[in-house]
Amino acid sequence: MARVDLQEFQRAVLHSSGLPVRVLGPGRHRFRRRRSVLAVVDLRPALLKVAGQEVLTADGLGVRASVVVRYSVTDPLRWVLAGDSETSAVQWLYLAAQLAVRDFIGGVSAEDLLATRSSAAEVVTPRVRDAAERIGAVVEAVDLRDVSFPGDLRRTFALVVVARQEALASLERARGEVATLRSLANAARALEGNPALRELRSVLAVERTSGTVVLNVATPEGTSAPSA
């Protein structure tokens, strides 16, 4: 007889010759080693890393992308029975994530991939989740981690970003110049035909610059004399 001790986060699927398949819960169990096959399943959340694979975008550019699948097993029996002598349940989940990412990247252009990368999980996760449910697992999320573009394309994207920033800076400078000209035009209209306002403006200018201004002040005899 063999013995197995299962933790709270573990379950075991026991195949015994001539007996139905059983799922063993936490605790200590005995089984016949020669007549039985025991598969221990961990129910804790796990990460499945899908290595970088080269995928063609909709416009024919090759990029490398890797993803991480966050999942946990919910049905140990279905999880174990999903595998066979060649492919395990984890490998089925791996394949489902690969195909979902390929379909997503293959449906967008390289430029759109940069813009939609952060929202890729919203498209990819439901497909992988459906496949996981069929093999006794639940997928929390599929995160698109690393996306590598060819060197020439990365340089092109960098030049595009620089050009956009320069255009925005030029636009802001033009807006500032227009605002300044509009302010000067309003001031000119206010000063036109209003000598008192012009003299007041001159006095304010003197106060700011500590300079001297000469004003024409009318004398009682009708003549004007300079006044500082």
Contact 64, 54 (CB under 8 A): yes
CA–CA dist 62, 39 (Å, integer): 40
CA–CA dist 140, 93 (Å, integer): 13
CA–CA dist 139, 45 (Å, integer): 9
Q: 143 or 226: whose pLDDT is higher? A: 143
What is the separation, in whole angstroms, between the first and last Cα of the chain? 117
User: Model confidence over 142-197: pLDDT tens digits?
Assistant: 998 878 776 565 555 545 545 566 676 777 777 787 788 777 677 777 667 666 66
Cα Rg of the chain (Å, integer) = 38
What is the 8-class DSSP label of residue 126?
H
Once rounded to an integer, what is the mean pLDDT over residues 31-52?
89
pLDDT over threshold 50, residue 228: no
Pick the range with the lowest mean pLDDT from 69-78, 104-113, 173-182, 186-195: 186-195
- 129 — pLDDT class (breaks 50, 70, 90): very high
Amino acid (one-letter) located at 225: A
Q: 217 or 109: whose pLDDT is higher? A: 109
Once rounded to an integer, what is the mean pLDDT over residues 79-85?
87
Nearest alpha-carbon partner for 72 in 151, 135, 156? 135
